[in-house]
Structure 1
């Protein structure tokens, strides 16, 4: 990296890596990522970067991982008995939606963006259907299981624990065939891809949470992201109509690259609940890793309420939802 200007990237809450922007005149920008926590093994990270390289080499729109001078995708450095895992990535071209004030390409309908979101995801899923890992990533149930839920979630939230275990039991009975289950991004959102605002091209990065799961999870997560475009609309029917149109456009893009059975699409409400579970688990993990006492703010309380009361579609069409305070509910003690 000689000659590169290397600048620390400000971490987001709950982030598990240290990352640096690397810029140099007349050279492609790069990102250095250093994993320093003990929550991932060398095999885990190799499974991630090998999957990224596979997607890139087969036409997936992802930020490629760069070989080290030794020809490795991953380098391990040990200092003072602490192990660091270091990777280098091509920096995705373009910018984030938030950096562009959530404005899409000038003169182009926003539906192109929805379509492209689905198309890029569909391409990744289609490639996953032919992927045979060398170093395998973990399976959904390796992390999300009754024992882990019981240890992580406070006993005072007994109803939540019960609902999460019920949800996991339902998932355990689902088919995991080649067309429905494989490697997924597991955090496909506008914070984890760049958009070239000249062409509309989306380039995906941050496969830190990638795992073997149902492809439907990524689609359900994409559904939940769509609510942000219409969350302040007072009329419930208009919110429903928008979400129907939005997700249809996403699916048109998705199906331009891969096939999905209608029977799997019928499980959308179930997998939206699974995204809520992931959000809740992540919130408690962040509190635990930061050494904080568990507490439920308005956003976490809202998610818990939706699961405890079996409220579908993140409550977006339910009386619990408030346009003035989207996805918030009264704080609760633990």
Structure 2
């Protein structure tokens, strides 16, 4: 968490009282909720080199374009100096702040028919389809091209080059090489959300409002779909057995793609890459833990060690994503 002096500076920049801040999370960024004139907003603080501000400006530019064209998304708000970012430096570190309107609605609940049902899956797909269609014609007004493009990770951690960790790493590298040679034509590749999972949108009357575009990159549209499907299956299945996962995956992808195709045309060739990208997202999840791992297994939780063991068994048996038989 950042210290109070930084929070005071950003509270002054966005013209709100610092005592209204409520800390929410600090996974990639520090995120707070605050109140201004009886309305709720979110403050996101990123600790990055100052040059990264241009990437954030590109993110915000795209959000505003999407909303202007009809996508329901949480809009950024301006500072008192009519800027969409605020920066400060402390202890030779730069901090970049952005603030967003609070989207109205509730998060998904897999045990509630109101907040987790086929109509929501279809609307989720329709929202993403609209975003991808608009991505094809989007041109940034200020910083076009400053968001990153998908690239291979290149992790050379020596602790991942032995035993079961090597099995995971080899699978990861093999998949990235397979992905890297895919075409990047305009009909299948563009600016994507890259993290459009169920905790990055809220639901109101089955309508979707999306937020958290911080991971947005230039990537394949089918990768964006696969990320949504992967997280839906991870978090949205009521029973953890393979049969339940397969059944839910079939239902989810059918409804999601029905909605998606209302807004964007994606050829069957690219639709068939979705299961591969789902498996890739699953493999990537292990390296969220292991990317900078020092080799000390006691630093991994029992749940993480069990997940790695299970993943390695599936890889060695040539069984795809999380034991599911995803067919489209």
Q: TM-score, normalised by structure 2?
A: 0.81
Choose which of 88, 110, 114 in structure 2 pairs with 1:105: 114
SS in 2 for 1:115: helix
For 1:49 and 1:300, the matched residues in 2 are separated by: 37
> Can you list the C-alpha shifts for 1:276-313, whole angstroms capped at 9, x where unaligned?
2321222224757xxx9567422344345444543213
Q: Tell me what 1:310 maps to.
A: 318
Q: Is the 8 A contact 1:152 1:285 kept in 2?
A: no
Choose which of 149, 154, 163 in structure 1 pairs with 2:171: 163
Q: Tell me what 2:224 maps to.
A: 218
Q: Tell me what 1:93 maps to.
A: 104
SS in 2 for 1:206: coil
Choose which of 191, 208, 216 in structure 1 pairs with 2:214: 208
Choose which of 12, 16, 35 in structure 1 pairs with 2:28: 16
SS in 1 for 2:173: helix
Q: Is the 8 A contact 2:58 2:147 kept in 1?
A: yes
The verdict on how the C-alpha distance between 1:10 and 1:31 changes in structure 2, with shifts beyond 3 A counting, is: closer
Alignment map for 1:137-156 (pairs within 5 Å): 137-141=147-151, 144-145=152-153, 148-151=154-157, 154-156=160-162
For 2:132 and 2:23, the matched residues in 1 are separated by: 29
For 1:2 and 1:229, the matched residues in 2 are separated by: 37
Q: Is the 8 A contact 1:4 1:24 kept in 2?
A: no
The 4+ residue runs of structure 1 with deviation greater than 4 A are 37-40, 292-296
Q: Confirm whether residue 282 of structure 1 aligns to residue 292 of structure 2.
A: no
Choose which of 169, 180, 186 in structure 2 pairs with 1:172: 180
Structure whose residues are more often helix by fraction: 2
Question: 1:117: Cα distance to partner?
Answer: 1.2
For 1:38 and 1:299, the matched residues in 2 are separated by: 34
SS in 2 for 1:77: strand
Q: Which moved more, 1:302-311 or 1:122-131?
A: 302-311
Choose which of 252, 266, 278 in structure 1 pairs with 2:272: 266
> Can you list the C-alpha shifts for 1:262-284, whole angstroms capped at 9, x where unaligned?
11111122111221232122222
For 1:311 and 1:170, the matched residues in 2 are separated by: 17
The verdict on how the C-alpha distance between 1:158 and 1:56 changes in structure 2, with shifts beyond 3 A counting, is: same
Q: Tell me what 1:182 maps to.
A: 190
SS in 2 for 1:137: coil
CA RMSD of aligned residues (A): 2.8
The verdict on how the C-alpha distance between 1:55 and 1:287 changes in structure 2, with shifts beyond 3 A counting, is: farther
Q: TM-score, normalised by structure 1?
A: 0.80
Q: Tell me what 1:122 maps to.
A: 129
Question: 1:90: Cα distance to partner?
Answer: 0.7
Question: 1:215: Cα distance to partner?
Answer: 0.8
For 2:158 and 2:20, the matched residues in 1 are separated by: 37
For 2:84 and 2:211, the matched residues in 1 are separated by: 15
The verdict on how the C-alpha distance between 1:39 and 1:2 changes in structure 2, with shifts beyond 3 A counting, is: closer
The verdict on how the C-alpha distance between 1:83 and 1:239 changes in structure 2, with shifts beyond 3 A counting, is: closer
